[in-house]
Amino acid sequence: NAGVMQNPRHLVRRRGQEARLRCSPMKGHSHVYWYRQLPEEGLKFMVYLQKENIIDESGMPKERFSAEFPKEGPSILRIQQVVRGDSAAYFCASSPRSGKNEQFFGPGTRLTVL
């Protein structure tokens, strides 16, 4: 059973461009979470999604950031008009529909904004 997959692993964007980060949860998992880790800081929750629904977006910046988890395909974290302060590691985690509550994390996408 493959783990949580994220791509790309490294992404370089210039200021003002768009960044699209993808997350494929583990097979059978229908809950996806996105976290951000700024340089030398801890992990911060961003958004929690189930298939086609945003359940908790309390950690998402109000502007430029959006997330989706469509019925088919990976979850996408989209950052429009990136700024240097968006440079960070973005981690995705998934958990199963019911039963065990632990979250399984992917390897992360490291976004660098030039």
- The tokens describing 41, both together, are 């800081």
| Burial (CB count within 10 angstroms: exposed 0-12, middle 13-18, buried 19+), residue 4 | buried
**Site pattern 17..36 for another protein (x: CB under 8 A):** --------------x-x-x-
| Interaction mask 64-103, another protein, x per CB under 8 A | -------------------------x-x-x-x--x--xxx
The interface region with another protein, picked from 12-20, 54-62, 65-73, 80-88 by CB under 8 A, is 54-62
The rounded distance, in Å, linking the Cα atoms of 114 and 42 is: 22
Shortest distance, position 81 Cβ to another protein, whole Å: 26
Distance separating alpha carbons of residues 32 and 92, to the nearest angstrom: 7
Interaction of residue 38 with another protein, rule CB under 8 A: no
Of the chain, the end-to-end C-alpha distance in Å amounts to 37
The nearest distance, CB 99 to another protein, in angstroms, is: 9
